Every structure is written in structure tokens, then in C-alpha cells.
Amino acid sequence: MTAQLAEGTRGRQRARRLSIKSKVLLPVAVVLMAGFAVYACFSLDAVERYVYGRTDRSAATFASVAERSLRLAMVQGDPAPVFRLLREISKLPDVQRIRVVNYEGKAWMSAGRPFRSNTPEVALLRREAARTGNTVGRMGPDWVYRAVRPIQGGPRCVSCHEDRPYLGYLEVDLRASETHRQLALSRQRLLLTGGATLLLVGLALLVTLHVLVSSPLSHLRAAMKRVENGDLSARASISSGDELEDLGRSFNHMVEEIEAKNQLLIRSAKLASIGLLAAGVAHEINNPVATISMSAERLLEMETCPAKRKFLQAVVEESDRVAGIVGELLSLEPRGSATMGPCNLDAAVRKALAGLARDAERNGVRVQLDLRLQGCQVRGQEDHLAQAFANMIDNAIRAMPNGGDLKITGRCEGGAAVVEIADTGTGIAPEHLDKVFDPFFTTREVGDGYGLGLSVTHKIVEEHGGNISVTSGPGGTTFTVRLPVGEDGVNGGQADPHPAG
């Protein structure tokens, strides 16, 4: 039930999930479209106002001139020349028709396209004339701009037309279709260019987001997925030169750290399990080995036949070898830090070197000792640390069978005591470098060591809360041991892996 609910919640989360592209594109598209719509409305309105305003002024000017000319002509008693002029004007391409109507609604003059009725309603004309501005309307297939202007009466008109305020009306219909068409075309062009611009901006944004954000993120996600599935060799390759590249680098660094820690944990666990196993079987092996060894030794003492002595000698030596292996394996057993105390690292190194001085001399190895460890006393067991250093020094001497330089340096550095053991020997092959701390790994001949020395060293250094690393090349090998030193000059050591109880 709980699982179903959780699945349902995940499903809803997936349904609500929007990609970064959508999250960026949607608001940008909405804002751009709204902005464009507002711009288009204002812009079109301004154009229309300008165009119609101009037409309006032209129509008003023309109607005013025509009305005054007509009134003047009527005062002079002959409106015929003005009517002729108006007829001529009505033939102009922008003029559809002109009509002069008297106060009774009778047409005095009509030119251009015929009107629907020859007797228009005066009340209607009056209303049209009184309306502010002129009107654009559709007349059949055409758009028409219509102006109606009253012909004002005056004192000089009384003799013929009595005392009337308006003698009649002048109707002018101008062709507005072309203007209308141009406006429609402008509107269309604006919408098309606006739409295309929006589309291009959207596409550019989409491509930019994909290249700069989505693609690096999907690389990172793929690498994360591989790590999630246990593949710690996965790395994110982002070279965008921005924050995402930093993120990728941080991720890679994190995985490298995890991988290193993981390897360390695996190695420590492996060594510990071998040590525990050794501790478990040591009793069972050492008892029979003791019986065999002592029996053979005693027989060897009594035996004088060289052939039998040879066999007995082999039994004694091989028993010693078995005892040696078990003894070294026991060194891998995890030990607590209970018996650790402040110890002299300088003395531990010197002790380790003193035990191997004869070997170094035999191989013609020159030893340089440069220990400056007075400022950082570590916590631990001097004998164990001496054993750890001895194993590394022994390794170095063996790597220089025809002589060389063994340089041992010690210094305090960043809250740690650092001891480096560098030889100018044969070096370790790159493919062997990560195996040198593995138990039973050795490149020496059978019988020349058990391949446990560096495993024991690793384990001892770890038990002291430190770490050990190795670098090697054609010029030789360097082991670096770092042991922590506390603020009071004493390190904390490692937590006791075997707490009481």
C-alpha cells in the first residue's frame, strides 16, 4: 500500500516535472508574445490614426473649399461653374462621388458613382454632418471615406433661400480601399515579421539552452547514473568553460575521492579479513608445525648420515618457513589502539634502519638520513612503526642489488609527520604499482619473502590513522608515509576496531 502511494507520488512528480528548457522557454515565450502584442496594437493604432487623420483633414479641406466656392457662386447667382468644377474633381481617382443636396433633400448636383437614392433624408444628412470626424465604411466591394458638410446660410442668402441656417449639404465620398488595403498589408507584415522573430528567438534560445545547459547536464547525469550503478570509473567530460564545467570537475573529483577511499577500504578490509583468518587458524597450524619442527631438530642432532641430515634439515627449514608465513599473516590481524601512546617516530625510523644497515652495506647502498621530526610527536607503537619502516627500507635495499642511494627524510608538514623512503633502484612496473600493498603480491623469486611486508606496513600505518602512498619510475621508488599529529603534538590514531566486549 505504502509502495503504491510512493509510486503514485513519484508518478505525479514526473507528471509535474518540466525540463529546464521548458521552464526557461515558456515564460520567455509568454513575455515576448505579450510584449509583441502590445507593441503591435499600439503601432497599428498609431499608423491607422495617422493615415485616417490625414484623409480626414484632406476630406475636410476639400469639403470646406467646395462649400465656400459654392456659396460664393450662389451669391453671385451662377453656381454652374462650381458644379462643373466638382464634376471634374469627381473624376479624380481618389474621389468616388460628390453630391450637393438642398434643404428639402433634392439633389442640385451629383457626380461620380450614382447614389442609391436621389432624394436622401435631410435628417440623416444633418446627423452625419453633426458627427465629429468622418466615417469609413464599406460600400459594396469598396471602402469609402465619407464627409458630409452643411452649406451655411447667411444674410446675403435670405433673398433666395429665406432665413435658413443651412441651405443644404455637400456629400463627398472618397475612395478608401487602397488606404485600407495598405493598412491591412502593414498589419499582416507586422504580424508575420513579429511571428517569425518570435520563432527565431525561440529556436535560438532552444539551441543555446540545449548546447549550454541540457547537453552538459545530460553528460553529468549519465556519469552519475554509472556511478549509481557502481561504476566508479565514470567521469563527466564537460568543457563548456562555465559553472557547469566546474560542476563536472567537482563531480569527477568527488568520484575520484570515493574511488580512492573505496580502494583503501577494500584493501583494509581484505588485509583485516586475512589477519582475522590467520589468527583463527594460527593455533591449528602452529601446534603441528611445532611438533614437526622440534622432532626434526632433535633427529637432526642425533643423525650422522649426510643424506638423512639433508632431508631433516629440509623439514626444519620448511617448518620455519611455514611458521614465518603464519607469523606475518598474524601481523595483518587488526589490533586496537588501546596500547598506543606517544612514541618517538625518529627512533622508530632509526631502529628500522639499524636492523638493515648490514644488508645495505652488503648491496653497496649509500644511506642518507635527514630526519626533522622533533616538532611532531605521533601517537602509536614504536615497535610497530619500526616494523613498518623496516619493511619499506628492506624493499628499497632489495631494489638496489648493485648499489644505489637510499634517502630517508622526515618532516612535519600540515599537521602530519611525513616520512619518505626513496631509492634509486629498479622501480616498480606501472601495472604492479596498485598491487604492491596486496597480500602475497611479490615479484621476487619463491622463497624470497612472502609478499606480506608492504601489506603489514599498510596495515600498521592505517592503524595509526595515517596513509601511505607510492610513486615509482625508472629513477626509483618513493614511499611516503603520513601520520597525523594532533594540536597538542599528538595524533589521535585510528579508532579501535576491536572495542571492548
Binding site for other proteins (CB under 8 A): 279, 282-291, 293-295, 297-298, 301, 319, 323, 330, 335, 339
As measured in angstroms, the least distance from the Cβ of 477 to other proteins is 31
Name the phi and psi angles at 439, rounded to 5: -65, 140
As measured in angstroms, the least distance from the Cβ of 381 to other proteins is 9
Q: What are the CA-CA distances from residue 363 to residues 350, 429, 470 (Å)?
A: 19, 22, 23
- Read off the amino acid at residue 90: S
Residue number with CB closer to other proteins (200 or 294)? 294
SS3 call for 104: coil
SS3 call for 484: strand
- State how far Cα 182 lies from the chain centre: 51
Residue number with CB closer to other proteins (157 or 323)? 323
As measured in angstroms, the least distance from the Cβ of 300 to other proteins is 9
Alpha-carbon torsion angle 420, 482, 275, 320, nearest 10: 20
Residue number with CB closer to other proteins (286 or 480)? 286
Strands, sheet with 142-152, edge to edge from the N-terminal-most edge strand: 107-112, 95-102, 166-175, 142-152, 135-139
- Please tell me the distance from the alpha carbon of residue 488 to that of residue 466, in angstroms, as a whole number: 17
Residue number with CB closer to other proteins (257 or 320)? 320
Residue number with CB closer to other proteins (111 or 316)? 316
Beta-bridge partner residues of 416: 413, 484
- Please tell me the distance from the alpha carbon of residue 492 to that of residue 200, in angstroms, as a whole number: 64
Burial class (CB in 10 A: 0-12, 13-18, 19+), 13: exposed
Residue number with CB closer to other proteins (107 or 299)? 299
Residue number with CB closer to other proteins (7 or 284)? 284
Residue number with CB closer to other proteins (319 or 424)? 319
Judge contact between 485 and 377, C-beta under 8 A.
yes
Residue number with CB closer to other proteins (201 or 294)? 294
Using alpha carbons, select from 475, 479, 436 the residue that is nearest to residue 455.
Answer: 436
- Please tell me the distance from the alpha carbon of residue 158 to that of residue 163, in angstroms, as a whole number: 5
As measured in angstroms, the least distance from the Cβ of 12 to other proteins is 59
As measured in angstroms, the least distance from the Cβ of 230 to other proteins is 37
Burial class (CB in 10 A: 0-12, 13-18, 19+), 17: exposed
As measured in angstroms, the least distance from the Cβ of 327 to other proteins is 8
State the Cα angle at 284 between 279 and 289, rounded to 5°. 110
As measured in angstroms, the least distance from the Cβ of 390 to other proteins is 18
As measured in angstroms, the least distance from the Cβ of 463 to other proteins is 12
As measured in angstroms, the least distance from the Cβ of 478 to other proteins is 31
